[in-house]
């Protein structure tokens, strides 16, 4: 399933150390069941997306982490309760809120709050696999570095977002990316003190 939707056509899995490969390996190790319940395709895909977020931003060094924490210092997330555990992502994963029981989106991610959590690396484009259900994403005050078109254009695909915060991060672009104009449902947006110039 994941290989058929891979954003780079599967090339990303050729490197065993890529965050995508590590996420896929974790997902395969978890299997298709949580307890007695079989996961839907949408739930499997969202677990892959969250695995990518974790592996792409937890303890990954960049020039900005060297500047912030000291050269060669690898700093992990402050809070990572239940992440990558064999539990539902709706069952206590730090910063994850799901749609309520009875909703047609039940069991899928509604909100992602990873503000001030010492995220590093680059926030991954695989986050787009959450675009149908994610209404709120808060990445405020982290050391993630998303540079240029590759690091920013995926934001324009997150069309269900109503609230988007990534101020005080290292999202870098000349001006605010045009992709943001595609987010027609946005009610609140904060990119202050990012590296948009």
Q: What is the pLDDT of residues 120-175, one digit of tens each?
A: 999 999 999 999 999 999 999 999 999 999 999 999 999 999 999 999 999 999 99
In angstroms, the CA 109 to CA 132 distance is 9
pLDDT at residue number 38: 85
> How large is the greatest C-alpha to C-alpha distance in the chain, in angstroms?
51
Q: Are 135 and 163 in contact (CB under 8 A)?
A: yes
* Distant-in-sequence, close-in-space partners of 166: CB < 8 Å, separation ≥ 6: 123, 137, 138, 139, 140, 142, 144, 190, 191, 194
CA 23 to chain CA centroid, Å, is 12
pLDDT at residue number 134: 98
Q: Which parts of the chain have pLDDT scores under 70?
A: 35
pLDDT at residue number 162: 98
pTM here is: 0.96
pLDDT at residue number 33: 76
* Distant-in-sequence, close-in-space partners of 40: CB < 8 Å, separation ≥ 6: 107
pLDDT at residue number 161: 98
pLDDT at residue number 14: 97
Backbone angles phi, psi at 188, to 5 degrees: -135, 135
pLDDT at residue number 183: 97
Encoding tokens for residue 149?
A: 């078109």
CA 87 to chain CA centroid, Å, is 18
- The HSE-up count of residue 43 (CA atoms within 13 Å, CB side) is 19
């Amino acid at each position: 399933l994941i290989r058929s939707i891979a954003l780079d056509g599967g090339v990303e899995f050729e490197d065993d150390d890529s965050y995508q490969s590590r996420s896929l390996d974790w997902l395969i190790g978890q299997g298709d069941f949580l307890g007695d319940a079989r996961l839907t395709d949408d739930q499997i895909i969202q677990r892959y997306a969250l695995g990518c977020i974790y592996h792409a931003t937890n303890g990954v060094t960049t020039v900005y982490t060297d500047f912030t924490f000291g050269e060669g210092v690898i700093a992990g997330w402050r809070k990572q309760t239940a992440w990558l555990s064999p539990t539902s992502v709706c069952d206590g994963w730090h910063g994850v809120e799901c749609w309520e029981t009875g909703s047609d989106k039940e069991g899928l991610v509604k909100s992602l709050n990873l503000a001030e959590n010492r995220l590093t690396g680059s926030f991954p484009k695989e986050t787009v696999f959450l675009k149908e259900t994610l209404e709120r994403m808060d990445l405020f005050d982290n050391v993630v570095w998303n540079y240029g078109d590759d690091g920013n254009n995926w934001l324009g695909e997150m069309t269900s977002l109503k609230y988007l915060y990534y101020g005080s991060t290292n999202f870098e672009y000349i001006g605010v990316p045009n992709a943001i104009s595609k987010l027609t449902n946005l009610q609140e947006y904060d990119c202050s003190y990012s590296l948009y110039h």
